[in-house]
C-alpha cells in the first residue's frame, strides 16, 4: 500500500489528494511506452513530437480517470456519513482511505460500486465521442490498433483511453478482496449472512485465492511465455493483493473474537472534559499542565461533545490574550460525519481499522444525543483484543 507521507497535490472537499513517490516511476514508464505506441500507430518518425505529446496527455488523463474512480468511492462514502482522510495515487492505481468501515451491507455495496460506475462512464464517453467523430468502423479499428487504418492522434488517444478504462473496469470487478469486486462480494455475503465479520473473512479468503492465481499466472507468463516484465508485474499485483486480503481476514477473525463487547465496556466512563466557555489560559493551567495529556474533549453546557482542543493549538495562542480567548475558538470541531466520536453502545469491532483512532490514540464516546459519556483509547481496544485471544472475555477495567 502507498505510504502516508505522499506528496500532496491539492484538496477536494477537504480530502487531501496526493501521489506516492512510486507514482512518478509509473508515470515515466507509461509515457515512455505510450510514446513508442503512438509513434507506431501514427507511423511517425523517431524525431516527431506528436507521439510524445500524446503520451504525456494520455498518461495524465489515465491517472485522472483513476482519481475520478476513487472520488466516486469517496463522494458516496461522504454521503453515507463516512469521512475520507485522503486519496493517494501510487504504483498500482489509487486508494481512498476511509476513516471507518461501512456500517451496513447496503452502504458497503454503494461505496464499492461507485468507482466502477465512474470508470464505466469514462469508457462509454470515450467510445461515444470517438464514434461521433470518426464513425463506428474507423473508431473500432483504432481501438484494436489496426495499423492499416489512417488514425489521427486524437482518435488514437480516445481509443486508448476508452480501452484502458474498460480493462480497469474488468480488473476491478474481479471478486478479489480488497478490489471493488471483492467489496461487492463482501456486501452480498454480508447481506445474506447478516454478519460483517464472516462476510469479510469470506471475501478475504476469496481474495487470497485470486491473488495466488495472479502469482501463478505471472510466473507462467514470465517463464513460459517469455514476457518477463508483464509476468513480474502480474505476480507483484498478486502478492500485494494476497497481503492485503490476509490482513482483512485477520481483522475479521479479531472482530469475531470480540463480538458482544461494546465501546462502553472498554471506555473510561469518567472522562476529563473542558467546557467550551473556559479560557485558553485555564485550559493550559488546570488541564494540560495537570494531566499532561496531548488533547482533551470539549463540551457545551449540556455536556454535548463539540470537538477537541490539542496542546499545540492552545500553545499557539499569544500569551497576552490567553485569558480572553475561549477554548471554543481554538478547538478542532467534530465534522458532519462525526469522525472524532463513536457511539458508546457501538460494537467494539466497529473501531477496528478506524483511521482517526489510530491518528489520535482515542475517540470520544457519546450517547445518541451527542452527550459525552466516555473516552475510548487505542490502548484499551488493544487490551480487549489481547484478552479475546487469550480467551478472557472479561471487559478491561478503564484506567483512571
pLDDT digits (tens, 9 = 90+) for 14-55: 788 999 888 888 888 888 888 888 888 777 888 889 889 999
Same domain, 373 and 277: yes
Handedness of CA 10, 15, 16, 19 (dihedral sign): negative
Same domain, 86 and 129: yes
Same domain, 203 and 158: no
What CATH number is attached to the domain comprising 286? 3.10.580.10
CA–CA distances in Å: residue 198 to residues 15, 112, 350, 353, 389: 31, 18, 14, 16, 17
For 237-270, the pLDDT digits (tens) are: 889 889 988 888 887 887 788 888 899 999 999 9
Same domain, 77 and 224: no
Same domain, 24 and 142: yes
Give the domain range for residue 153.
Answer: 7-173
CB contact set of 125 (below 8 Å; sequence gap of 6+): none
Does residue 396 belong to any structural domain of this protein?
no
Contact 302, 371 (CB under 8 A): yes
Same domain, 13 and 156: yes
Does residue 180 belong to any structural domain of this protein?
no
Same domain, 252 and 365: no
The model's pTM is: 0.78
Residue that finishes a domain, picked among 118, 143, 173: 173
Please list the alpha-helical segments (H only) found in 5-49.
22-42
Give the closest residue to 162 by CA, choosing from 134, 190, 188.
134
| Confidence (pLDDT) at 252 | 83
For 332-346, the pLDDT digits (tens) are: 998 777 788 999 998
Same domain, 107 and 162: yes
Residue that finishes a domain, picked among 227, 257, 287: 257
Tally of structural domains, the chain: 3
Same domain, 243 and 290: no
Handedness of CA 22, 26, 29, 32 (dihedral sign): negative
Does residue 24 belong to any structural domain of this protein?
yes
Nearest 10 degrees: Cα torsion 293, 354, 245, 105: 170
Amino acid at each position: 500500500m502507498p505510504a502516508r507521507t505522499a506528496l500532496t497535490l491539492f484538496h477536494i472537499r477537504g480530502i487531501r489528494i496526493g501521489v506516492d513517490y512510486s507514482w512518478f516511476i509509473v508515470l515515466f514508464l507509461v509515457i515512455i511506452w505510450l510514446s513508442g505506441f503512438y509513434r507506431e500507430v501514427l507511423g511517425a518518425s523517431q524525431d516527431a513530437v506528436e507521439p510524445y505529446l500524446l503520451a504525456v496527455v494520455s498518461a495524465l488523463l489515465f491517472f485522472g480517470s483513476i482519481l475520478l474512480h476513487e472520488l466516486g468511492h469517496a463522494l458516496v462514502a461522504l454521503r453515507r456519513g463516512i469521512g475520507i482522510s485522503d486519496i493517494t495515487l501510487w504504483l498500482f492505481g489509487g486508494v481512498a482511505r476511509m476513516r471507518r468501515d461501512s456500517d451496513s451491507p447496503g452502504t458497503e455495496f454503494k461505496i464499492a460500486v461507485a468507482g466502477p460506475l465512474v470508470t464505466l462512464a469514462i469508457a462509454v464517453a470515450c467510445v461515444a465521442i470517438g464514434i461521433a467523430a470518426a464513425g463506428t468502423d474507423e473508431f473500432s479499428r483504432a481501438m484494436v490498433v489496426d495499423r492499416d487504418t489512417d488514425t489521427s492522434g486524437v482518435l488514437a488517444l480516445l481509443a486508448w483511453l476508452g480501452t484502458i478504462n474498460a480493462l480497469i473496469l474488468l480488473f476491478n470487478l474481479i471478486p478479489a478482496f480488497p478490489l471493488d469486486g471483492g467489496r461487492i462480494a463482501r456486501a452480498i455475503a454480508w447481506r445474506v449472512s447478516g454478519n460483517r465479520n464472516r462476510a469479510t473473512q469470506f471475501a478475504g479468503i476469496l481474495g487470497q485465492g485470486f491473488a495466488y492465481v495472479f502469482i501463478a499466472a505471472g510466473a507462467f507468463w514470465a517463464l513460459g511465455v517469455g514476457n518477463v516484465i508483464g509476468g513480474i508485474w502480474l505476480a507483484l499485483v498478486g502478492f500485494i493483493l494476497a497481503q492485503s486480503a490476509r490482513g482483512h481476514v485477520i481483522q475479521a477473525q479479531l472482530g469475531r473474537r470480540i463480538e458482544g463487547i461494546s465501546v462502553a465496556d472498554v471506555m473510561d466512563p469518567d472522562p476529563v472534559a473542558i467546557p467550551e466557555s473556559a479560557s485558553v489560559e485555564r485550559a493550559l493551567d488546570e488541564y494540560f499542565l495537570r494531566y499532561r495529556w496531548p488533547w482533551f474533549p470539549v463540551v457545551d453546557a449540556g455536556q454535548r461533545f463539540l470537538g477537541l482542543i490539542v496542546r499545540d493549538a492552545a500553545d499557539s495562542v499569544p500569551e497576552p490574550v490567553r485569558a480572553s480567548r475561549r477554548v471554543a475558538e481554538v478547538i478542532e470541531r467534530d465534522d458532519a460525519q462525526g469522525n472524532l466520536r463513536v457511539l458508546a453502545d457501538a460494537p467494539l469491532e466497529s473501531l477496528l481499522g478506524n483511521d482517526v483512532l489510530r491518528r489520535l490514540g482515542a475517540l470520544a464516546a457519546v450517547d445518541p444525543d451527542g452527550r459525552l459519556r466516555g473516552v475510548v483509547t487505542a490502548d484499551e481496544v488493544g487490551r480487549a483484543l489481547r484478552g479475546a485471544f487469550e480467551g478472557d472475555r472479561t471487559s478491561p477495567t478503564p484506567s483512571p
